[in-house]
Structure 1
Amino acid sequence: MVGGIFTAHEGWRHNPRYHHGDFELIICTKGELHLKVAEQDYTLKPNDLLLVPPYTLMRGTKPSPGNVEFYWLHFILPSNTQLFESTGSLTLSDKDVSPKHILIPQQFKLPDLDFLTILIHQLLNTNSENAYDRKMANYFMTMIIINISKLTLNQLDFKTRDSERINRLKEWIRTNLYKSPTVQDMADVMQLNPQYLSRLFKKVVGIPPKQYVLQLKLHTAQALLVKTNLSIKEISANAYFDGEKLFMRQFKQMTGMTPSEYRAQFDEIYHNNQVISPTLPIPEEITKHLKDVPDFGEAPQDS
């Protein structure tokens, strides 16, 4: 429906906002947000996600102690969407060939934001002037939801010995990416044979470890391209590539465009700040079912 990047200074507090028929996804990237959704209090810190359900009043509970930044995305889900108090009654796994559920928790700590940042910026760069753009926006929002669900299921389902070992290795790779670790380095850390490690990694993650390292570097570069004004040379170095030319060649192989072309497509993303709060144009498909609903503030009172 609509979304943006919101920034505010110390002392900002979220205005009361009633969600009509839409969900809102809030992803904190800087500072702290203090919110109340219905009767539940939440504190969001960097990498924290909050899903606000429809027909719910949300408001700030106290001023932010410092500068704050977050993504906000409003979207509509099918009418048969269910809300659960817990997942105990569901059969959930990210290994299902035909998964029956996409699970979005109300609050969730994301392991990292790099890949989601790329998808969010692609979504926010898509306008809704024609049917193709609307289809693209729906596609990117669906990808964001599916990736959040996958991360959630990974945390619920990754309890086997192999998955736990590879999860630890992925975290080691992330913290040692600046060394450009080889498969032998990983095998030494895990005390495994390199060939066996490669097979195990691909079984759990879906791609070989060498490709995973490159993918992580490229995702880092993409995030830097859309979130900073660093030069291409600086981004190459900060994404741990061995030289600007290699970076540009591998980036184009993955994305089909140069780093400069990739950055240029995100020039028109809607940013707002504490002076202009996130606004929500209610779509016709919702408003035609509502009567006398205020655009902002408290929920309508029963007569």
Structure 2
Amino acid sequence: MNHIHYVGSDAAHDSNFVFDIPQGHQCWLLVITKTPAQFWVNGELQKYPSQSAVLYRAHQKIYYKACADKYVNDWIRFESDEPYVSNLPSGIPFSLDDPDYCHKLIELLVIEHHFNRDYKKSSIDCLLRTLFNKLLESYCHDGFTTQYYDLLRLRAAIQNSPGDHWTVPKMAEYVRISPGYLQTIYKKTFGISCMEDVINCRIRLAKEYLFQGSRTIHEVADRCGYQNVEHFCRQFKQVTGFSPRNFRLQASHSEQVREHPVI
């Protein structure tokens, strides 16, 4: 069971902001910072970087304050008896793996909480479960840096627009590092080179276009970022084992079988 008392995003305060509740709330409080902040942890005030999350259990001392020109955070005050909530440590901030993803979930929770829709309760339950899954992933994976977040944004941009003219220098400029260093840390971070990632995203998009069957091979190649259709066909076969034409035939046959099964 989950019940949200209040959820908010991008709450901004000035440099003298202090949140001090010695006896804590009557329920859970989740705070996700957008700026650096100081938290009372293990009997002392400690500074934590932006993109940190902290979960407070009911009646736990809450104290945090701004330590820059401004303080910005997302937060949820809620009740829950779900075990996935208590899997996280309480009162100890930790860095987020994908802060943009978590922020989008908070924004969706704000919408669901403030509008009475038919499936409000189940939507909130699903969003909270997903949010806490991401928080637990982050807690179990430490060592995040600003550079890591830049790489995440680059990878999201590649996956969202694989048809763009991606080159190693362009990707390096995106994250403001040298091309050689980008290739090293990208492979170390994601287990795949940046250009291999681009190719895989392009082929994945091409397979979807071919499955739909409404575009020519040349149009598919162009939409997926290939200026040369022969190069596209060669790379597609290297990755999938099929030529684009044969892949389309196979996809069409599979679709017909699903629509008209042999009885």
- Normalising by structure 1, what TM-score? 0.44
The one of the two structures with greater contact order (alpha-carbon pairs below 8 A, sep at least 6) is 1
Which one has a bigger Cα radius of gyration?
2
- Normalising by structure 2, what TM-score? 0.49
Q: Which has the higher helix share?
A: 2
Q: Which has the higher strand share?
A: 2
